[in-house]
Structure 1
């Protein structure tokens, strides 16, 4: 048995940071494919004629391309569901991990229900959604997009400028059509009614097309607010403002139609990591 490559551990790709986003590249051990000698096609005989066909290595290059289009933040490029850890006293985190593990077993994401992860900062919400994006692009070859809610509203706001380089359509259409959309930090910053209307249209169009949305938020829905802010979430910095007030009743209602709410409570992983250093 050949020993796995020391650089990529046999995955065929490596992930590093490029500015604020994670960036994948095909490992040196796979660039010079022994089958096609780097040509990305092979010659086969069909019906007595020699024809060119894509080499199997093309799949790896395409999956790396999809990952790089997804927009995963630099610190989350190598997150996996399997490495998500939780303690005995954190059953809510275990339920969240199980749900995201189930996504990895699906044959496809057509008509799959999404998830809205709710909880205070540091419990691993972004870890799980970025792990899903990494898995679906690099392991399954399914296109995904990861967007930060605050950044998305800011980009929409920039389209108002006369010298804008983007249009609303140019921002929203790729997010409507992609099979899997992850929205981080719902409710962060205050979007105007117009910006929220644009995002509502995005979510509604995805709902009508039966395309999955996974999202995270530090803001508890009103129905969960009192129960969880009487507990450890208050000590961990959870806000007392309900999610409905941050994103609007209509957008919240639409999300509830297409996604299950999972409340995550547990120790702050960021503080735990800092304590171990």
Structure 2
């Protein structure tokens, strides 16, 4: 019986190449990568350099990864902005829309900008910031502007809260049906890279408030994490409201104090 000399695999490959418009191969030269074997396509066209194709594919994949990372960062920032709990009135407050018409306002704005710009160094030193003085002069505005820079530019997390909310959360841990312990309640405020405490001394320091503020600020002090304090009190009165031990921890490491001692500008700022 005569043995067939045909190659079924080769014939199938030839038919596949023909259906794909491939008529064969021939030597070719890439100006960047040298010689290669090119596939001859329809109308005599040659396939491109495989190394060029590989590099183009690598660039495309890198661009896709960068875009995925950008979207992930954007989503994380959106979550952080929501989790920061900055009041709606202050979410759009920036350094650019802070009204600095007087020398005092310009000094306060410059100090806030500097603290935000240098936040990595301030965080490493656990350097706190205290915005103290008259009501209605934009202390919370500047704190919100700092928070936005810290989150967006430095990729750190921020939590804004008031002393009354902190005290309420800690007090809620004392009940029989409490869902967390006092230690767990304090932990919520120890964790953020920057904690903004507003309305400090608003009730002029009850014993309970002094105890809670010391526990929160001391926990952050021990973990080398900075705290931003906003108060309508000046330095001496703040020490009376919080206690010397707490204020000492805020001042340690070069804590910055910005005094707002001019008349309220609230009527001039929308």
TM-score for both structures, normalised by structure 2 = 0.68
Structure 1 distance, partners of 2:209, 2:73, is 38
Q: 1:109-188 alignment to 2 at 5 Å? A: 109-111=123-125, 113-188=127-202
Tell me the equivalent position of 1:266. Answer: 262
Once the two structures are TM-superposed, the CA of residue 244 in structure 1 deviates from its matched residue by 2.2
Unaligned runs of 5+ in 2: 1-56
Q: For each residue in 1:139-197, what CA deviation from the matched residue of structure 2 results, as whole angstroms up to 9, or x when unmatched?
A: 43211111111221122122222233443233221321211111111112255534432
Higher helix share: 2
Structure 1 distance, partners of 2:72, 2:194, is 22
Tell me the equivalent position of 2:252. Answer: 257
Q: For each residue in 1:30-71, what CA deviation from the matched residue of structure 2 results, as whole angstroms up to 9, or x when unmatched?
A: xxxxxxxxxxxxxx869xxxx988432111111111111111
Counting matched residue pairs gives 206
Tell me the equivalent position of 1:245. Answer: 240
Q: Decide whether the 8 Å contact of 1:157 with 1:195 is kept in 2.
A: no
Q: 1:23-172 alignment to 2 at 5 Å? A: 54-87=68-101, 90-106=102-118, 108=120, 109-111=123-125, 113-172=127-186
Alignment CA distance shift 1:209-1:190 (3 Å): same
Q: Decide whether the 8 Å contact of 1:66 with 1:141 is kept in 2.
A: no
SS in 1 for 2:86: coil
The 10-residue stretch of structure 1 (78-87 or 168-177) with the greater mean CA deviation from structure 2? 168-177
Alignment CA distance shift 1:162-1:192 (3 Å): farther
Runs of 4+ in 1 over 4 A off after TM superposition: 51-54
Q: For each residue in 1:206-252, what CA deviation from the matched residue of structure 2 results, as whole angstroms up to 9, or x when unmatched?
A: 22332211111111122xxxxxxxxxxxxxxxxxxx22222222212
TM-score for both structures, normalised by structure 1 = 0.66
Question: Which protein is bigger by CA-based radius of gyration?
Answer: 2
Alignment CA distance shift 1:219-1:52 (3 Å): closer
Q: Decide whether the 8 Å contact of 1:100 with 1:128 is kept in 2.
A: yes
Alignment CA distance shift 1:165-1:214 (3 Å): same
Structure 1 distance, partners of 2:259, 2:65, is 52
